[in-house]
Amino acid sequence: MRYSPEKRLWLGVKFRIYSGLAWSDPRLPPERFLKDLTERMGEFGLELHPVKTRLIEFGRFAEANRRKKGEGKPETFDFLGFTHTCSKTRTGRFFIRRKTIKKRFVQKCKDVKQELEKRMHDNVKETGEWLNSVIRGFQNYFAVPGNMDLVKSFYDQTTRAWLKILRRRSQKGQGFTWKRFEKLIRWLIPRVRLAHPFPDQRFQRYYPR
């Protein structure tokens, strides 16, 4: 699909609405693009969400540009389960840090703990396999550079919640030690790891020069 600012027309066979757009073309101000997009969607009885739609200065030079203007740090935005922020690596290179949205993280931990409550008297191995599948699913989506602290926190919070449940199963369960529990989770629930490296590393792996 191609956009023509002179004719203000969308040329192509498909019309798509994206939740996030990156803009760097100095020939066409983003305000002009947003105005034309709003008008074009209005012709089809569609509209952009008034609260979720906003223009922000974001990217490699956003922090420096805002500092020159006496403004604060670049704004953040939520997209596809992540909060996106401008950040830097340990070597000073710019990268977009993605962190699990806090509200979703808290709610996910709460949901897992509630499900563990329901499974209190289920077979221990079956419950461990279920919890492992939940943690693996969380890892496969959220284990990206800059977000591993929350992924590890999810692992720790959910496994510790399971230990508390095991100790409440019966009087014998009260003597379930952490050392014994560590052996159990090493068997059923391996530690989390990075699932998605930086894009340049990923592309270099699959498309070596």
pLDDT digit string, tens, across residues 175-185 = 778 888 999 99
The reported pLDDT for the residue numbered 15 is: 45
Residue 8 has pLDDT above 50, yes or no: no
pLDDT digit string, tens, across residues 14-64 = 444 445 666 666 666 777 878 887 888 888 888 877 777 788 878 888 888
What is the four-CA torsion angle of 155, 206, 203, 135, rounded to 10 degrees? -10
CA–CA gap between residue 51 and residue 33 (Å, rounded): 18
At residue 193 the predicted structure's pLDDT band, cuts being 50, 70 and 90, is very high
At residue 6 the predicted structure's pLDDT band, cuts being 50, 70 and 90, is very low
Choice between 202 and 14, residue whose per-residue pLDDT is larger = 202
Q: Sign of the C-alpha dihedral, residues 160, 166, 172, 176?
A: negative
The amino acid at 180: R
Helix (H, G, I), strand (E, B) or coil at 131: helix
